[in-house]
A and B are shown apart, each in its own frame.
Chain A
């Protein structure tokens, strides 16, 4: 559809040479969006906004931070005490990481529930998993920078994991460290890479949105748009809805930033890193806990030592996500019409929470049992349940079209303010 000619001569002049205005008009005003998107669809834009917030606060923090093992901790405390509004920028960045993950995890589970990873959106999903991986790397390296006890020991534990790789493992670890242990070279390079990765994420997000716009958004019914009666323009309908969702989200975010800024963090990271003193518990940030649980759950298996087995299990859990579109054999997208799948989905949610709890505790007693069952279930869910359900489940009859099915539009107000107490 051609863009209507603007009244404004300057706009026409620019657009003829670089069609930004046509582009914006196409993507915002003309782009057909299903009319029945629920509040679960707000989380994509929220993730994008969190990325911008993290980059903005990160750049201004980077102006004050010193990536040297003798100076890093003090430079962060200087930001907290001496830099104008430094405490605010730091707390936003620190809690922003947590909230970025909350938003992205909800966004992912939305995709799992409504089958947003299915044809023709497989690449969209894969790009999303790549974004998740990049986020995890960025967050891991970022956490090392304050050079607290958890920064140092978390870095030590996770980099040591690569030593499990047969033959070349130890060389890789030394290469990662730039020395004999996590030390100044490691800190410096993590700083450089932590600054770089968000721009990589930005690029992949661009591809992710391009892939999205190729076929348009999925919707809660999981059926394709049949025509203009099923769609509404993105602007103003979803711009205002996303803005409202953003408002609700920011309220919750600001409650944490201003009133509970350290609730999601580990207090031990307020202790300077001490290579000669291991903390009683080494725990990653909450958003890594389920993966941490999987890592520690696996015992020696056959000829594979527990360390390597754990590493493979942990990375495997993300690899599974890459091949997800091909694991699910069901022709039906949305769990609304898959009565059996729905239960398994919630079981997965409980499983992930349980694994998170396991990751937070020392691996002893019942925690080991829960951890092993939880890890096993995760794999069973994707490798066995997914393929089999597609074959054996009898789905509910699908509505003929979106506009036929829509009475109330299918939005739940509670969606945007849902589970923020994710531990």
Chain B
């Protein structure tokens, strides 16, 4: 007889509740559900970065011997611009003197924008070389390297970065000034020296487990 059962799709409840049939139906439905979830998983997983994407995000080795003192080069790591600056003695002295400390938002780099081995006034492993992710922490433009003192930025400008989009300013260690739109210091990527002339960007030194994905703002 065509009894009507309760509504609800695939509920698999029997009319005359034979417990054996109910158990079977429930077991079958449960197993089928597990199967369906396992079947959907590869589809979802396929959207994660593919092997070649991950390989392209591998650390890159940069030859820094060709960078002139006072010059900056830009390389790409994980599709992001990496600024590498060969800081002159004069630049390092300016940083050491730290006259602008009062005008900086985060002079001691307290926010998590750099690996622990770059948490110093130079925000780098060695004072001579600055390595930053060149993406303004405001809305993502590329700040311009402005090492010359003075100029259009005013007589108190000692050198650093100026972002043309909305006027954010950073010092020669990438630390952000107050009263500008950007909220954080420029990020420092994981890197270490594999020789005096080569930096490997994208890889921590062996004694560090810093996770670049944990920083506040790329």
Contact = CB atoms under 8 A, between A and B. Distances in A.
Contacts of B42: 84-85, 88-89
Interface string A66-91: 00000000000010011111101100
B112 interface: no
Contacts of A6: 7
Given A228-B1, A233-B2, 9 more contacts: A1-B4, A11-B7, A29-B4, A78-B52, A82-B51, A84-B45, A84-B48, A84-B51, A233-B4
B9 interface: yes
Interface string B36-50: 000000110111101
Contact of A243 (B8, B28, B53): B28
A4 interface: yes
Nearest to B55: A82
B5 A233 contact: yes
B2 A32 contact: yes
A243 B32 contact: yes
B2 to A, nearest CB: 5
Interface string A1-44: 10110100001000000000110110011101000000000000
B43 to A, nearest CB: 5
Contact of B46 (A60, A81, A235): A60
B50 A236 contact: no
Contacts of A22: 7
A57 B39 CA distance: 11
Contacts of B6: 4
B150 interface: no
A11 B10 CA distance: 16
Nearest to A230: B2
A24 B8 CA distance: 7
Listed from nearest, the 10 A-B pairs whose CB atoms lie closest are: A85-B42, A25-B7, A82-B52, A82-B51, A82-B50, A83-B50, A84-B45, A60-B43, A85-B46, A233-B2
B43 A57 contact: yes
Contacts of B25: 236, 240
Contact of A28 (B3, B9, B43, B48): B9
A84 B5 contact: no
A25 B10 CA distance: 11
Given A85-B45, A240-B25, A4 B7 contact: yes
Contacts of A240: 12, 25, 28
Contacts of A32: 2
A1 B42 CA distance: 43
Contacts of B14: 236
A63 B47 contact: yes
Contacts of B32: 243
B5 A236 contact: yes
A123 to B, nearest CB: 26
A203 B180 CA distance: 56
A394 B45 CA distance: 61
A239 interface: yes
A11 B5 CA distance: 16
A63 to B, nearest CB: 7
Contact of A235 (B5, B28, B50, B51): B5
A57 to B, nearest CB: 7
Interface string B1-32: 11111111110101000000000010010001
A34 to B, nearest CB: 12
Contacts of A86: 46, 50
A87 to B, nearest CB: 10
Contacts of B7: 3-4, 6, 11, 21-22, 24-25, 29
Contacts of A28: 9
Contacts of A236: 5, 12, 14, 25
B51 to A, nearest CB: 4
23 contacts: A6-B7, A11-B7, A21-B7, A21-B8, A24-B9, A30-B4, A57-B43, A60-B46, A78-B52, A82-B53, A83-B51, A84-B45, A84-B46, A84-B48, A84-B50, A85-B42, A89-B43, A228-B2, A233-B3, A233-B4, A236-B14, A239-B10, A240-B28
A86 B3 CA distance: 46
Contacts of A3: 7
Interface string A257-296: 0000000000000000000000000000000000000000
Nearest to A234: B2
A4 B8 CA distance: 11
B2 A83 contact: no
A369 interface: no
A288 B8 CA distance: 41
B28 A78 contact: no
B2 A56 contact: no
Contacts of B3: 233
A232 B48 contact: no
A171 interface: no
Nearest to A236: B12
A60 B48 CA distance: 12
Contact of B5 (A1, A29, A64, A83): A29
B47 A60 contact: yes
A201 B9 CA distance: 24
Nearest to A63: B47
A30 to B, nearest CB: 6
Contacts of A84: 42, 45-46, 48, 50-51
Contacts of A56: 43
A231 interface: yes
A28 B5 CA distance: 10
